Amino acid sequence: MVPVLVIVAPGQGAQSPGFLTPWLEDPVFAARFAWLSSVAGLDLAHYGTEADAETIRDTRIAQPLLVATGLVAALRLFPHPGDFFDRIGAVAGHSVGEIGVAAGARAITAEQAMVLVRERGNAMAEAAATTATGMTAVLGGDREEVLAAIERHGLTAANDNGPGQIVAAGTLEQLAAFKDDAPAKARLMPLSVAGAFHTHHMQPAVAHLETLARAVSTHDPRTRVISNRDGQVVHDGREVLARIIGQIASPVRWDLCMETMADLGVTGVLEMPPAGTLTGIIKRALPGVETFALKTPDQVDAAREFCEKHGEASGLDLTPTWRMVVSPAKGTFRLDAEAAELDVLRAGAAIGAVASLRDEISVTAAHGGQVVEWLVEDGDPVAPGQPLLRLHPEGAA
């Protein structure tokens, strides 16, 4: 079996009082963390070492705290990231963790990530304050019965975290009625969050972030990015950013992200700090996949050994003079007959589709350019993130 490494970053709720204390004992980590804290305009070192659980539950604090921790810990783990990008099979973040992995994959800068996450936290907190909303984890029960009950009470399945764990979100009245009409054999656990995240209640926050995003320059990621929206691999920097923003008001499909990991043949998953939540889910959903929860700096050497064990050449050629169009999912590639005859593709031109058991996904050349090489043929089976077409960007030297 060829080893495949996936790096993941947790979402809000992974933080705990004092979790940052051992990390800040390293002066290099502390200096880098202070820089990102300055960008965010928050004393994140205080919140990660001295603040209580209620304080760091605040969306305005929790989100920048998580992203900054993951970004600086990644530099501790990979001092020279460029040397390791081609050995990381994919990256994925849960909810706000997507901002961290986007920066880690170089789709956006760390500074852009901190501004976006600061504004995301503020906007989501403001949206949550307009209506009394919340979230409840539904553990166990029959999946179809759970989803039917959520829909019956006007709630949203805001997080689908795989077998036996779905999070319902909506107004407090809806959640109370849901509690009184709980699905059979399911256990309900109210979550300590400020509102119904990843539902239509967060739409005002989306509008604010969309305005800010117009000023953000992006780059195609240096490794495969698995999107929360549908588990597809996204390789256009602009789409990575657009999906992160839209996800604020859309359900997190972590179950589909794990399906894509399985399609990639994942053998090892490393979770960035504060770790433990996602590796726990992955252990249940993907038995046989080795996991590593990076929680403290004294684990860094062991984490590097884990990455060496599972890191293998990804096959994703990211030479800067080329543009790669990659498959968004596992399936069969259907070549667009018109695209096959062209030497130059316009930006946004369709090149074909990937047909899977679930649906058929259109594939476009987001940037356009001179066709250098088709890497697949019509009818070929493809894997998530597999290169389909190599382009030379228009106007490139």
* 208 among known catalytic residues: no
Q: Which two tokens stand for residue 332?
A: 């069969």
Catalytic residue among 95, 227, 314, 327: 95
Q: Which residues, in sequence order, are bridge partners of residue 168?
A: 136, 157
Beta strands in the chain (DSSP E): 5-9, 90-93, 133-140, 156-160, 165-171, 186-190, 225-226, 233-234, 268-271, 290-293, 323-326, 331-335, 344-345, 349-355, 360-365, 369-374, 381-382, 387-392
Are the C-beta atoms of 191 and 137 separated by less than 8 Å?
Answer: yes
Q: Which two tokens stand for residue 356?
A: 């899977």
Nearby residues of 256 by Cβ (< 8 Å), 6 or more positions away: 160, 230, 231
Q: Which two tokens stand for residue 374?
A: 């088709």
Q: How far apart are CA 208 and CA 98, in angstroms?
A: 18
The closest of 243, 298, 233, 294 to 266, measured between CA atoms, is 233
Residue 57 DSSP SS3: helix
Residue 339 DSSP SS3: helix
Tell how far CA 167 is from the center of its chain: 17
Q: Establish whether the linkage from the previous residue to 17 is cis, with ω within 30° of 0.
A: no
Q: Which residues, in sequence order, are bridge partners of residue 190?
A: 136
Catalytic residue among 37, 94, 153, 198: 198
DSSP at 79:
S
* 198 among known catalytic residues: yes
Place of tokens 């790669």: 324
Catalytic site residues? Answer: 95, 198
